[in-house]
Amino acid sequence: MSAPLNPTGVSTCGSLYVVATPIGNLGDLSPRALETLGRVAAICAEDTRHTRQLLAHFGVEKPLQALHEHNEDEIAERLVARMLAGESLALVSDAGTPLVSDPGFRLVRAARAAGIKVSPVPGPSALIAALSVAGLPSDRFVFEGFLPAKAAARRERLAALSAETRTLVFYESSHRIEDTLADAVAALGAARGATLARELTKLFETVLDGTLEDLRARVAADVNQRKGEFVLLVHGAGEEADAKVIEGRRLYAKLSEHLSPSTAAKLAAELSGAPRKALYGG
Ligand code: SAM
């Protein structure tokens, strides 16, 4: 199948809009997302009940088509045929950006292969939201999605990542957060700097940072810190990941509010044990 053209050579087929939806706070649905959802012929949704509630909140009524990992291959072909016939469709997931640890890849691939325009309506994603507040190096990072559910496979994956120098980003659920933190301490080292972002944009939003061991102990000690949805970010391997450097940077940030940068760096280095040159510009 390929996109039909009218006599002037312009495509007559519809488009597929990949629309990001809130990860908690409904105020994060963009005006363009709302306008797009209101304009398309139908919305492909991971869980139609969940999306119906979102749409009801915004007063949008649209036919919904369930699209999840078990039916995506089969449904994608039918949806592509509808778009080739002229209908525009939107794709959403339960929360955040479709295709990011969510269904949609097969539909997008099939639409692109058929010459259909696939257009993003960007917005929330827990990955980027967490990275934006973690205070860990973000110029390069590795998104690992969910670690394997089985303990042996999870430990193997973490061990394979132990020498990775870029910031590591994982999605995690409340069922496994304790085990994942314990396994991360074992595989990546207790002193590795990390940030745990929980329930972002929601009532109980919490962003904890410290060493992996700090986070493990904090979550183990407080049942509330095990509730909700999590993004775990871990400093990459190497000198930068050293707990002393993290502490030194924290001290430097505080001291430099009152002292010159060089005096603040000298004091922060003395107090933390981190090399002075590692504290400038961090
Ligand atoms: N596509 C989504 C996105 O763009 O963020 C992610 C979908 S994935 C199935 C769901 C996972 O994302 C959760 O288990 C959690 O790890 C993370 N997540 C989603 N919402 C979150 C939030 N408000 N705060 C922290 N993590 C969240």
Say if residue 274's pLDDT is above 90. no
Mean pLDDT over the full length of the chain? 93
Give the confidence band of 282 by pLDDT, cuts at 50, 70, 90: very low
Mean pLDDT, residues 165-180: 97
Give the confidence band of 61 by pLDDT, cuts at 50, 70, 90: very high
Q: Which residues line ligand 1 (CB under 6 A)?
A: 23-24, 93, 95-97, 100-102, 125-127, 171-173, 197-202, 229-231
Query: Which listed CATH number (3.40.50.620, 3.40.30.10, 3.40.1010.10, 3.40.50.2300) goes with 15-124?
Result: 3.40.1010.10
User: What architecture is the 127-241 domain classified under in CATH?
Assistant: 2-Layer Sandwich (3.30)
pLDDT at 240: 55
Mean pLDDT, residues 234-238: 95
In whole angstroms, what is the distance from residue 65 CA to residue 91 CA? Answer: 9
Which has more confidence, 252 or 189?
A: 189
Mean pLDDT, residues 9-15: 84
Return the residue matching tokens 């709302």.
Answer: 34
In whole angstroms, what is the distance from residue 231 CA to residue 137 CA? Answer: 15
In whole angstroms, what is the distance from residue 8 CA to residue 163 CA? Answer: 56
Mean pLDDT, residues 56-67: 97
Q: Output the pTM of the full model.
A: 0.85
Q: Phi first, then psi: what are they for 194, rounded to 5°?
A: -155, 165
Share of the chain above pLDDT 70, in %: 95
pLDDT at 253: 83
**Position in ligand 1 atom list of the atom nearest CA 199:** 24
Q: How far is the CA of 18 from the centre of ligand 1 (A)?
A: 17
Instruction: Evaluate whether 233 touches 209 at the Cβ level (below 8 Å).
Output: no
Q: What is the pLDDT of residues 67-86, one digit of tens each?
A: 998 999 999 999 999 999 99
Share of the chain above pLDDT 90, in %: 81
Do 15-124 and 127-241 agree at the fold level?
Answer: no
Say if residue 30's pLDDT is above 70. yes
Q: Which long-range contacts (CB under 8 A, 24 or more apart) does 1-8 make?
A: 1/80, 1/81, 1/84, 1/114, 2/84, 2/114, 2/115, 3/84, 3/114, 3/115, 3/116, 4/84
Segments making up each domain of the chain, as ranges: 15-124, 127-241
User: Among 54, 171, 199, which is best to mutate for testing ligand 1, by the most ligand atoms less than 8 A from CB?
Assistant: 171
